[in-house]
Chains A and B, each alone.
Chain A
Amino acid sequence: MPEILFFTLVAAVAILSSILVVAMRNPINCALSLIMTFFCLATLYVMLDAPFMAAVQVIVYAGAIMVLIVFVIMLLNMRTETSKNYVHGVLVSCIVAVLTLFVISGFLKKSPLTGEPGLMTTDLVDKVGHTELIGRAMFSDFLLPFEITSILLLVAIVGSVILAKRKL
């Protein structure tokens, strides 16, 4: 059972660090906790036979996006908020969060979670390589969404430049 033990360990770290994201006062601490969560998720991706996604998770999320966030936090020179860190209604919000969890688990319990098994097996991933599989799918079946994504990114670039400009 070392596998399940490892999974439990990683899951526990992920949950703990995500709680820290919500609970920490200093935004920098939050950001660091979030990076921790991302690493845990990357680990889980590897366990799920998706090494390429794990790499992307680390590079894009833990790398690029989080660097951007930390950079903005430092740019805005935010300090720990001593007084009110949370809005009112923490209790009610917790109830909603628990309700969310409840709904999700209810869904899992009710749904049979079955389906036609596809072609992508562990053997295939080992033989062909995950990156190649992703690449084949991406540039054949999902070519159009892929192209559209590029436009989305372009718009995001233009939009962020315009928004952050001092004077229009």
Chain B
Amino acid sequence: MITLHHYLILSGILFSIGALGVLIRRNAIVIFMCVELMLNAVNLTFIAFSRYLGNIDGQIFVFFVMTVAAAEAAVGLALMIAFYKNRESIDVEDMNIMKL
């Protein structure tokens, strides 16, 4: 029997891997993909809870998360293109204009 815990543990593992990717990668697009991964881990949690609590609201939330992700993808990628145009790179190490 698959319990809620199975899904939640899987979701936690995926989330941790996504966080790890955000922390260690230098390529902004890869970091972006890792963020998407984290979002999906959360989506999984929502749907799992929705199923086990018999409430559809969680799935509606997933729907909104997807919308936000889509908007984020559009704007984030546009930002990267703009940055690439200036710096010929999307390496986050180059995004250091705040440094002294």
Contact = CB atoms under 8 A, between A and B. Distances in A.
Q: Do chains A and B touch in the complex (CB under 8 A)?
A: yes
A34 B25 CA distance: 15
The number of chain B residues touching the other chain, given as a range, is 35 or more
Contacts of B95: none
B36 to A, nearest CB: 7
Most interface-central of B21, B56, B75 (chain A CB within 10 A)? B56
Given A50-B59, A72-B81, A108-B12, A65 B54 contact: no
A9 interface: no
Contacts of B77: 68-69, 72, 160
Interface in B15-59: 15-21, 23-27, 29-30, 32-34, 36-37, 40, 43-44, 47-48, 50-51, 53-57, 59
Interface string A57-81: 1001100110011001101101001
Given A7-B2, A116-B53, A163-B75, A76 B25 contact: no
Given A27-B27, A60-B70, A93-B24, A15 B13 contact: yes
A97 B30 contact: no
Interface residues of A, number: 83
A89 B53 CA distance: 41
A117 B26 contact: no
A106 to B, nearest CB: 10
Contacts of B70: 60, 64-65, 153, 156
B74 interface: yes
Contact of A61 (B16, B26, B40, B72): B40
B27 A81 contact: yes
Nearest to B27: A27
Interface of A: 3-4, 7, 11, 14-15, 18-19, 21-22, 27, 30-31, 34, 37-38, 41, 44-45, 47-50, 52-53, 56-57, 60-61, 64-65, 68-69, 72-73, 75-76, 78, 81, 84-87, 89-90, 93-94, 96-98, 100-101, 104-105, 108, 113, 115-121, 133-134, 137-138, 141-142, 145, 149, 152-153, 155-157, 159-164, 166
Given A72-B77, A100-B12, A142-B60, 12 more contacts: A21-B21, A34-B37, A48-B50, A56-B66, A78-B90, A101-B12, A104-B15, A108-B5, A152-B68, A161-B78, A163-B79, A164-B81
